[in-house]
A and B are shown apart, each in its own frame.
Chain A
């Protein structure tokens, strides 16, 4: 008799998993898809830069200085040293994407470890970590980054570390907040009652549940990191010439803004598009992954 009732209790045929379902939702969100396409185009251009770029980004053709776009075979013109602007923007995408991803990676790792430790253990551990985070948040973001670069010395790697460190506090805060909510859930107690230790509970049980808001934030963070690194390079604290980095390209040609608009404007548009792409995707992911909008 029991078995008969169980037959009726069978759930509908297996639904797609969480990630499959999220992907489906993403494909239905136009803005997010637009963002994803932009990012994909930049990423492909960055990966296949040597194949895509029409010229070497470092070769100077003095005779063709400040050529306007669409003349003499320079699709986007040349800069003040006669380097092909399109090729420099394509190669610059490599650096900008790497900066975005690496610095967000650095802040994610730091932020997750600190946030989860603070949220899970609570008490004085929480208080000490969160006060340090508060102090870091009290500094203006760009100022903190500049200070860290100034200490470490100006280079691309140090710029990434600096951006990573100064972006870390917000990840730590968000992770801590979600961990505080998740650790009270029944499944955490249930898993503890099965003999799971603290480290496993923190990183295996709670973290995957606390991560969805952070994925959104990280996506938005990549755009911001690209922007910050452009800013740092503009100030001479990030990439060093002749590296084709977007911010640096703007900085080194700012005196031509009235005479040769394309030299300044086109790298700026590249920054704008890349950041826009990440922001669109991030906003879309927020709608899809927001736990409040999920059943």
Chain B
């Protein structure tokens, strides 16, 4: 497909971010770690996409690749295109990429405890974004920072803007991080890299609700990286499941929860405390084995050694995309039967 054709396709589907065939590896002393392999992903304007998977499956690397924050070396982007509103981010000059970061694409991180600079006040750090991107004066930037703290529901924002990070609780710091990520004239995409993992459960719910509210209000899309299926159910429109650097399933959230086709997705859902199989069980269900070493990964399906439905061909080749509906894709040689077949 030519560039104009892809651009046209992009506008037709309302695509905000499109990732085609992205592969990222890390060249370490022990060998080449294939962190992300042939990943396709797309996010529409205003949509929440949840990227789900275990630790080390390539979720964060994907997020860092979008903002081009993968440390290089040792990281290498082997192939792929990342389109943001039609422009390829991977071929953009560093200067233009920098202008995009924090203004149209922003990130919030897992650890609110360490993601704020300890020596500056929260207000000063948020104001800095306005100063960098909008060339505002110090005073005005500070006022805008306080407004944002108000928007993320931090009480007494003017006073809090003068607080140092260590004077805030974890939940407040994460709110401040969100405010920082919102400090732009027209945020298009917010990448939230496990935004609630480090917070306790009551605060988690608040932060998720805040993110959803803000998303509606500002009209941005959200790429939510998580390993918590509960979080997914609450916030996402669509879900992409990753395993060992590969995307194994991609579906609208309702579809995925109702009819998971890939055994790994089913396994993840089965691990939840609230899963039907766990309702009256003495022990929680788990997926046997552990994530394979990304250094020694062969050509077969990476999940084969843990899969209950494994067949011979699973060891030899990674399956092609199968469709289970308009927007439901998965890659499995021996999928869990769909709703039609199971009756």
Measuring CB to CB, which residues of chain A are less than 8 angstroms from any residue of chain B? Answer: 2-3, 5-7, 9-11, 14-15, 17-18, 185-187, 189-197, 200, 205, 208-209, 295
Contacts and interface: CB of A to CB of B under 8 A. Distances in A.
B164 A17 contact: yes
A127 B147 CA distance: 46
B118 A186 contact: no
Given A190-B116, A194-B101, A209-B119, A3 B153 contact: yes
A209 B118 contact: yes
B266 interface: no
B38 to A, nearest CB: 25
A189 B109 contact: yes
26 contacts: A2-B153, A5-B206, A11-B163, A15-B167, A18-B164, A185-B114, A187-B115, A187-B116, A189-B69, A190-B109, A190-B115, A190-B116, A191-B128, A192-B69, A192-B101, A193-B107, A194-B106, A194-B129, A194-B181, A194-B183, A195-B99, A195-B100, A195-B101, A195-B102, A196-B132, A209-B118
Contacts of A11: 163, 167-169, 172
Q: Is the interface of A mostly helix, strand, loop or mixed?
A: helix
Nearest to A185: B114
Nearest to A206: B117
Contacts of A195: 98-103, 129, 132-133
Contacts of B99: 195
Interface string B147-190: 00000011110010011101111011000010011010000000
Contacts of A15: 167
B119 A186 contact: no
B118 A6 contact: no
B203 interface: yes
Given A189-B109, A193-B102, A6 B153 contact: yes
Given A9-B171, A195-B132, A205-B117, A14 B103 contact: no
Contacts of B101: 192-195
A195 B94 CA distance: 10
Interface in B80-129: 98-103, 106-107, 109, 111, 114-120, 125, 128-129
B288 interface: no
Contacts of A18: 119, 164
A18 B117 CA distance: 13
Nearest to B105: A193
The 7 closest A-B pairs by CB, nearest first: A194-B102, A195-B102, A195-B101, A193-B107, A186-B114, A208-B119, A186-B115
Contacts of B171: 9
Contacts of A185: 114
Given A2-B153, A11-B167, A194-B180, A209 B109 contact: no
A295 B165 CA distance: 13
A12 B59 CA distance: 36
